[in-house]
Amino acid sequence: MTILVIAEHDNKVLAPATLNTVAAAVKIGGDIHVLVAGQGAGAVAEAAAKIAGVAKVLVADNAAYAHQLPENVAPLVAELGKGYSHILAAATSNGKNILPRVAAVLDVDQISEIISVESADTFKRPIYAGNAIATVQSNAAVKVITVRATGFDPVAAEGGSASVEAVGAAHDAGISSFVGEELAKSDRPELTAAKIVVSGGRGMQNGDNFKHLYALADKLGAAVGASRAAVDAGFVPNDMQVGQTGKIVAPQLYIAVGISGAIQHLAGMKDSKVIVAINKDEEAPIFQVADYGLVADLFEAIPEMAALA
């Protein structure tokens, strides 16, 4: 068995989710190859070659892959992937953009967002917004799988010494082109990689009040997230949304502030190691999943916590 892992990167830095995806590949067993598709991504290939457990790094360096447009990367992965038993990518926006196309080209079912590996052909994945866990067995010749990063502890970033091989194939489907991107810049940790997340909900009342959460987060070295209600109300941008239709996080500590605890929100954070809820309504469902609950007005509690932190 040989497993192909698609590296998640921005041509400069290998994203941590790749390490969780390799961890899933290690559980499946067999040789692990990592594909770096990009342009000028030499540093990423070097980092991938150092990942513990990786045997080979394939580098497809071409202008067609510069922005990892799925229309161009998917045919490359499908072509290379035919020779593999499994193709894995992190269940990020990028992975979720590329792998379904690969599965379609290979005419196999995709197995989405696995959270555990039972054997080489059997996996567990959440369904119904995480309210049930399905065990899925696949007899596809090539198993195309997205991996929920929070389900697997990352492998070591250092310690491997994989060979690096260039891949010549250039697929430019010519049906899409990169126009531009607007990336949110923040000195705080990235939401899905942060050890501590402080999230605000509708109870924050407006975007300006998020300054109380930013002050606390900066003291704790935390990332700031939000409920969908807070995003839909325009308090904060949608890349901060945690939940079923937002980001999935599983930090050491999740502090939910003015969030009621709808199942769609819980789907994105209930695997956090310790959950703290602050809500003025003692009946709020968030208290059912919280390890520590504080029934209080957030506008008093948060500044007090920030002063103590």
Q: Which residues bind to ligand FAD, rule: CB under 6 A?
A: 201-203, 227-230, 241-246, 258-260, 262, 264-265, 268, 278-281, 284, 297-299
Tell me how crowded residue 214 is: count the other CB atoms within 10 A of its CB: 16
CB nearer to ligand FAD: pick between 188 and 202: 202
Measured from the CB atom, the residue of 104 and 289 that comes closer to ligand FAD is 289
- Give the integer Cα–Cα distance in Å for 216 and 188: 12
For β-strands 274-279 and 163-166, DSSP reports them as unpaired
Number of helices (H) and strands (E) in the chain: give both, helices first. 9, 15
Burial class, 28, CB count within 10 angstroms (exposed 0-12 / middle 13-18 / buried 19+): buried
Rounded Cα gap, residues 203 and 299, in angstroms: 10
Q: Name the minimum Å distance from CB 309 to ligand FAD.
A: 18
Q: Smallest distance, Å, CB 271 to ligand FAD?
A: 15
Identify the helix (H) or strand (E) that includes residue 119: strand 116-119
Residue among 101 and 228 whose Cβ is closer to ligand FAD:
228
> Phi and psi dihedrals of 213, rounded to 5?
-70, -40
Minimum distance from residue 226 beta carbon to ligand FAD (Å): 7
Q: How far is the CB of 11 from ligand FAD (least distance, A)?
A: 29
Considering the complex, state which of residue 165 and residue 281 has its C-beta at the smaller distance from ligand FAD: 281
Amino acid identity of 145? I
Q: Do residues 133 and 113 lie in contact, with contact meaning Cβ atoms separated by under 8 Å?
A: no
CB nearer to ligand FAD: pick between 84 and 254: 254
**Minimum CB distance to ligand FAD, residue 191 (Å):** 12
Cβ-based nearer residue to ligand FAD, 56 or 280: 280
Q: Which amino acid is at 214?
A: Y
* 252 Cβ contact list (under 8 Å, min separation 6): 195, 196, 272, 273, 274
- Strands in 86-90's sheet, in edge-to-edge order, are 110-114, 143-147, 86-90, 2-6, 31-38, 56-61, 163-166
Written as six digits, the tokens of 223 are 């990332």
Least distance in angstroms from the C-beta of 148 to ligand FAD: 14
Compute the least distance from the CB of residue 112 to ligand FAD, in Å. Answer: 16
Shortest approach of ligand FAD to residue 109 CB, angstroms? 23
For ligand FAD, the closer of residues 140 and 214 by Cβ is 214
Between 27 and 270, whose beta carbon lies closer to ligand FAD?
Answer: 270
